[in-house]
Chains A and B, each alone.
Chain A
Amino acid sequence: MTILKLVFIELWKRKSQLITGLLAITLGIAVIVGIQSVSVVSEQNVARNLDNLGANILVLPQGASIDNYYTSDIDAPTLPMDYVERILTSTIAGVDNMSPKLTRRVKVGGQSVVLTGILPKSEIASKPLWQSSGLLGSELKTACAPSQSTTKSHGLEDEKLKRKAIDTLNTTDCIAGSQVAKLLKLQAGGSINILGKDFKVVKILPETGTIDDDRIFANLKDVQTLLGIENQVSAIEIMGCCNAISEGLLGKLRNILPDTRVTSINQIVSTQIETNQLMKKVTLVMLIIIFFVGGISIGNYIWANVNERKREIGILRMMGAGRSTIYRMFLLKALILGIAGGILGYILGTLAGVILGPYFAGILVKPVYMYLVWSIILSVAISLAGSLFPTYLAAKFDPHSNLQED
């Protein structure tokens, strides 16, 4: 017998009470871990996408939301395909490249995937990732990308990918992002039925860590026909020359493209960064709330436990247990509760992030194992802080008066 063993036996014998005691702290930790794991990925994505994105101007329909630029083209309203012509034939200088896209969420093999129709040549040409070391891309990085985008591009300059996709993306061909390929068990050379039409999978893209991983790319014409959205696109990505942008390229584009939103990626990214900063503030507020709510809840639980065990405390004191033993008994219990709450909260929050992240933030969330350590530290701190006062009172109990009642 040891005091620790006594604590465990008591915990086990009253395990139903344990659930109530742990509820608040577990949920609290879960919320923080959930928010944190979503926003950390979101932040990484901003940096990574800045690095990898070939385009620096996005033309979207007026009604499109740019709250989240990773998904801003999915299921958004559309704009006429003619606008591509209009830009090309205009006298506006500084548009180096263009990539019209039509993106919709579709069901393939029972799974929801994002289908993006692209005009092969221009799409590929404006993605530095898909080129060996795209001239435009590397220039863009040094010239236009904000300085915080220090994340290295993933060394994915796969020689084989070099421009090859352009020539091979015929109608009935498609390219699958790595995640989609995993999800649907696709292989290069295999085939896939999308909305009733058979496509040949000509390539599986290597993992980029961006939204491209979750997409299937097919010829724009095919996608328009399949979706019944002829001559419409959901976005036009434009590769603009940096100097031209600073000289008012965006405004000039707006003039010739009515009912559109012409935004620079920088603008969108800064919206995203603002969102992330807001999330950080929300997390901080949550942290404070959880510290109090969780602490009070655990304190309340321990106090109820102390009262229920008044007689036991009296008996132990009678047998020669010092105040320190009483402290040890209840603080050990709080410690165990804290550890359990931290672990449970971490699991719950991570699950919530992984499951709900793709829906609410449009991003893939991976478990951050380091958060387990922080969850436990935080939870233990809350639990101990909340239990300190009830334990102090328990240790101060007069042993004799608590022996009498039965």
Chain B
Amino acid sequence: MFLQGENILKQYPHNGGFINALDKVSFNVDQGDFVTVTGPSGSGKSTLLLSLFGLIRLSSGTIIFNGKRIDNISDRHLTDIRKKSVGYILQSFALIPYLTTIQNVMIPLALERIPQKEQVKRATEILDYVGLSDRIEHLPRELSAGQQQRVAIARSIVHRPQIIMADEPTGNLDPTLSLEILEFLKKINRENKITIMMVTHSPVAADYGTMKLHLNEGKIVN
């Protein structure tokens, strides 16, 4: 069992009562899947994506990753799993503004205390892979939106994670750039056998999914 959710409940306090952002969600993801999560705004897509590896703690439910429960483990362990096995891509790119392209990409390696030489080698390779070899020393603000998202993709795969969590990765991009990014994700998924879980509200993007989850008001619908 690669990644499994069972009866995932996430409640937010609201007007004295509760809102169920995720309402007993269950799903099953196999290694190598390209999962798309769709649904209207406010249906709980981001909550689902971010709660799986502890960025949001659940109200109840079970999450199993690589055969082990991870919903009830310590913050420290979850942090460790994110560091080693997960890559994140967000709609807003989430690059560190004062670091250059290559420095941003090296951050996950720095967190794993990989030696500087190895960091440079791997980051350079990955930046070549996403076609940014000529933008290595640029700051995020000196890059176009599409280039920034490619830096974010490079950063999400540089530490060879098992799964990439992407929250509307093409939300800030025009259709042409969106396609480019989606093709990249597909390539990463195919060539590197990295599982991808992508939240999107674009039907075009949703078509890339080999497994599709549709959320509505915190519930999975088919």
A, B from the same assembly: yes
User: Which residues of B sit under 8 angstroms from A316, Cβ to Cβ?
Assistant: 96, 107, 111
Instruction: Give the Cβ gap from A401 to chain B, nearest Cβ, in Å.
Output: 9
Over the window 280-323 of chain A, the binary record of Cβ atoms lying under 8 Å from chain B Cβ atoms (1 yes, 0 no) is: 00000000000000000000000000000001100111111111
Show 30 A/B contacts (Cβ-Cβ < 8 Å), sorted by A: A1-B106, A1-B107, A1-B116, A2-B110, A3-B110, A6-B99, A6-B103, A9-B103, A10-B98, A13-B98, A312-B96, A312-B97, A315-B95, A316-B107, A316-B111, A317-B79, A318-B88, A319-B88, A319-B111, A319-B155, A320-B79, A320-B80, A320-B81, A320-B82, A320-B111, A321-B79, A325-B111, A400-B55, A400-B56, A403-B50
Over the window 97-110 of chain A, the binary record of Cβ atoms lying under 8 Å from chain B Cβ atoms (1 yes, 0 no) is: 00000000000000
Asked if B127 is an interface residue, CB under 8 A from chain A, the answer is no
Q: Which B residues have a C-beta under 8 Å from some C-beta of A?
A: 50, 55-56, 75-76, 79-84, 86, 88, 90, 92, 94-99, 103, 106-111, 116, 119, 155
User: Which residues of B sit under 8 angstroms from A167, Cβ to Cβ?
Assistant: none
Beta-carbon nearest neighbor of B155 in chain A = A319
Which 10 residue pairs of A and B lie closest in terms of their CB atoms, listed nearest first?
A320-B83, A1-B106, A1-B110, A320-B82, A13-B98, A400-B55, A322-B79, A315-B94, A400-B56, A406-B92
Beta-carbon nearest neighbor of A401 in chain B = B56
Q: Which single member of B56, B76, B82, B119 contacts A319 (CB below 8 Å)? A: B82
Beta-carbon nearest neighbor of A318 in chain B = B88
User: Which residues of A sit under 8 angstroms from B55, Cβ to Cβ?
Assistant: 317-318, 399-400, 403
Q: Which of A10, A323, A400 has the most CB of B within 10 A?
A: A400
User: Which residues of B sit under 8 angstroms from A321, Cβ to Cβ?
Assistant: 79, 83, 111
Bound CA span A1–B100, Å: 11
Identify whether the interface residues of A are mostly helix, strand, loop, or mixed.
helix
B82 with A318: CB separation less than 8 A: yes
Instruction: Give the Cβ gap from A1 to chain B, nearest Cβ, in Å.
Output: 4
Over the window 15-56 of chain A, the binary record of Cβ atoms lying under 8 Å from chain B Cβ atoms (1 yes, 0 no) is: 000000000000000000000000000000000000000000
Over the window 129-159 of chain A, the binary record of Cβ atoms lying under 8 Å from chain B Cβ atoms (1 yes, 0 no) is: 0000000000000000000000000000000
Given contacts A9-B103, A317-B55, 5 further A-B contacts (CB under 8 A): A1-B109, A318-B94, A319-B83, A321-B111, A403-B90
User: Which residues of B sit under 8 angstroms from A400, Cβ to Cβ?
Assistant: 50, 55-56
Bound CA span A318–B161, Å: 13
User: Which residues of B sit under 8 angstroms from A315, Cβ to Cβ?
Assistant: 94-96
Bound CA span A44–B107, Å: 55
Q: Which of A2, A315, A400 has the most CB of B within 10 A?
A: A315
Bound CA span A322–B54, Å: 12
Q: Which single member of A14, A312, A319, A325 contacts B108 (CB below 8 Å)? A: A319
Bound CA span A55–B111, Å: 72
Query: Given the known A-B contacts A1-B103, A399-B55, A400-B50, are A320 and B94 also in contact in the complex, defined by CB atoms under 8 Å?
Result: no
User: Which residues of B sit under 8 angstroms from A323, Cβ to Cβ?
Assistant: 75
User: Which residues of A sit under 8 angstroms from B80, Cβ to Cβ?
Assistant: 320, 322
Beta-carbon nearest neighbor of B161 in chain A = A320
User: Which residues of B sit under 8 angstroms from A1, Cβ to Cβ?
Assistant: 103, 106-107, 109-110, 116, 119
Bound CA span A317–B79, Å: 7
Q: Which single member of B84, B106, B119 contacts A320 (CB below 8 Å)? A: B84
Q: Which single member of B76, B99, B155 contacts A322 (CB below 8 Å)? A: B76
User: Which residues of B sit under 8 angstroms from A312, Cβ to Cβ?
Assistant: 96-97
Instruction: Give the Cβ gap from A405 to chain B, nearest Cβ, in Å.
Output: 9
Q: Which single member of B50, B56, B83, B99 contacts A9 (CB below 8 Å)? A: B99
User: Which residues of B sit under 8 angstroms from A325, Cβ to Cβ?
Assistant: 111
Bound CA span A203–B83, Å: 78
Beta-carbon nearest neighbor of B120 in chain A = A1
Bound CA span A323–B74, Å: 12
Beta-carbon nearest neighbor of A2 in chain B = B110
Bound CA span A311–B84, Å: 21
**Contact residues of A between 317 and 375, Cβ < 8 Å to B:** 317-323, 325
Bound CA span A320–B99, Å: 18
Q: Which of B55, B80, B103 has the most CB of A within 10 A?
A: B55
Bound CA span A5–B98, Å: 12
Beta-carbon nearest neighbor of A4 in chain B = B110
User: Which residues of A sit under 8 angstroms from B155, Cβ to Cβ?
Assistant: 319
Bound CA span A112–B148, Å: 66
User: Which residues of A sit under 8 angstroms from B103, Cβ to Cβ?
Assistant: 1, 6, 9
Instruction: Give the Cβ gap from B108 to chain A, nearest Cβ, in Å.
Output: 5
User: Which residues of A sit under 8 angstroms from B108, Cβ to Cβ?
Assistant: 319-320
